[in-house]
Each structure stands twice: as structure tokens, then as C-alpha cells.
Amino acid sequence: MKYPAIDVEGVDSDFLLALLDDFGPTAVDIHGSVVTVFFHDIARRDAAHDVVVRTHRGSRVQSRDIDDENWARRSQENLAPITIGRITVAPPWHAAAPNSEPRLSAGALAEADTPSPVTIVIAPSMGFGTGHHATTRLCLRALQKLDLTGSHVVDVGTGSGVLAIAARMLGAADALGIDDDPDAIHAAMENGARNPRADCVRFEVKDLRSAPLPKADVITANLTGALLVRSANMLLAAINPGGSLIVSGLQRRERDDVVRAFEGASITWEAAEDEWVAILFRSS
């Protein structure tokens, strides 16, 4: 199978993804100084190509169709595990004995209050969410600020499913990941199967803009600033009283607009990485 993509050199990857957000990129692959961005179809790829050429005249942009096997092979060469707090996200070829409870020495048993590390196995696919993008890292940090024990979690725009899987492995009773992209849901289900400890995680194709969300104690929404503003009322309505909402995917310049859209919820944590921001709200 061939995937339409553009290779871009000379543009920062985070700025590039923000510029191309309206064209619905499905994945990004960074190899050296070249950023490869994948799209659902040729029309969106070609439109994205034209925008980059117009706005970054000094960049080098090439359109091409990439074979899935070649992309996966290159990912295996370049993608390494990444650790955020107590969570390590690893591709299958780097995960040693994943999903098993760590063995504790006698000395370590005395530190029973120290949370165990968690390894999540995520295969690279044509969807975002391996943990290597700043917005995913920020969401994983935010999840670790919460006591998820026994909670019901909904992950909106689940992509590879990493946040839903992480929530369950951090103690949530169950987690539901939704996405309007059937390919992303297929990849998320495969990743769920790679993590046996994430046994109560479901994934469904659902469009946030046309279908109500189920009630949840915690909602994660790694979307875009514009979509967060448009969906604020729906997201807030789905949180149980006293529940938490993690939002990311917004840029620093969009931060104030997003906060205004979620007026009525209080900010309990906020962090930024590069040009990206994540905010943890608590509902009243």
C-alpha cells in the first residue's frame, strides 16, 4: 500500500505540523533534517505541499508516495523508547519483557509507596501517538498528576491509543479511546492487544463533532486549539462532577483562547514544551 507524503527540509517539525493541521496529517516521520508528513489522500498532500512552498520559500519540499513496509522499516531503525515520568513508551523491538510486573528486591519492598514503572508497547503506524511528539508527552505527564484508581477515562482523538492504554495501566477501571479515523482505531486496537495489562480498554470510531461523549471521570483531548475551542462545551458536559480534563495539541498563542472556552473549570496544572501547551482542568 502506498501513502501520500511530503518530505520537508528547512522547517521546524512542530511549526510544520501546526501549519499543516488543516490538511489532516496522519503521521510524521523525522529522519535527520528531513520531516516526512503523511496524509489520507493525494489531494490533501498536494494542498499541503503548496502551503509549505508559499510560506517557507527557503525550504525544500518534495511530494512522493511511500510504501508502508519501507516506512515501517525506517521507523524500526530510528524509533527508540522514550520515558516520561514512570511511563516508558517503547516500540515492540525495544520492549524487553513488556507488561509484566517488575520484580522487587527486599530493599525495594520497603519503598512500597513508590509507584511501579510502566512500560507501554506502541508500534509505529500511520497515526500519531508513539509518545515522541511533545503533545503526547505532555498528556502522559498530566495523567501522572492524577489518582486514576477506579476511574472511568475517555480519550478523545486516541490515535495510536497510547493515552487510553496508559490510563488503564496507571489504575483506571476502564478506558475508551475514540477517533474519527478508522485506520487509527485499527492501530489502537492492535496496540491494545500488545499490552495485556490494558485489559479493560476499548476503542471506537466516533466523531466528536456529531456524537455525544459518554460520561467520564477523566477525559483526555489531544486535539488542536481550534477544535478544543469548538468542542469545549461538549467536553465539559461529559465530565463527572469533580472530574478532570486534560487538553493538549494547542500552541502557546492559542492558550488564552482555549482557557476562555473552558471557563467554569479550574486549572490545576499546566505545562509547555517547545511551542505546545497542555492544561489539566478540574470540573466544578
- List the domains of the chain with CATH numbers: 2-76 (3.30.70.260), 80-282 (3.40.50.150)
pLDDT, mean over the chain: 85
pLDDT exceeds 80 at position 248: yes
Give this prediction's pTM: 0.76
What is the per-residue pLDDT for 168?
97
Structure confidence at residue 118 as a pLDDT band (50, 70, 90): very high
- pLDDT, residue 110, reads 37
CA distance linking residue 171 with residue 152, whole number of Å:
10
Spatial contact of 125 and 131, defined as CB atoms under 8 Å apart:
no
- Secondary structure E strands in the chain: 2-9, 27-31, 34-38, 60-67, 82-84, 87-90, 118-121, 152-156, 174-179, 201-205, 216-222, 239-251, 266-273, 276-282
Q: Which of 20-34, 62-76, 228-242 has the lowest mean pLDDT?
A: 62-76
CA distance 225 to 232: 10
DSSP for residue 212: P
Are the CB atoms for 188 and 203 separated by under 8 Å?
yes
More confident residue, 210 or 117: 117
Q: Show the cell assigned to 61.
A: 519540499
Mean pLDDT is lowest, of 22-26, 102-106, 233-237, for 102-106
Residues contacting 238, CB < 8 A, separation 6+: 154, 212, 213, 214, 215, 216, 219
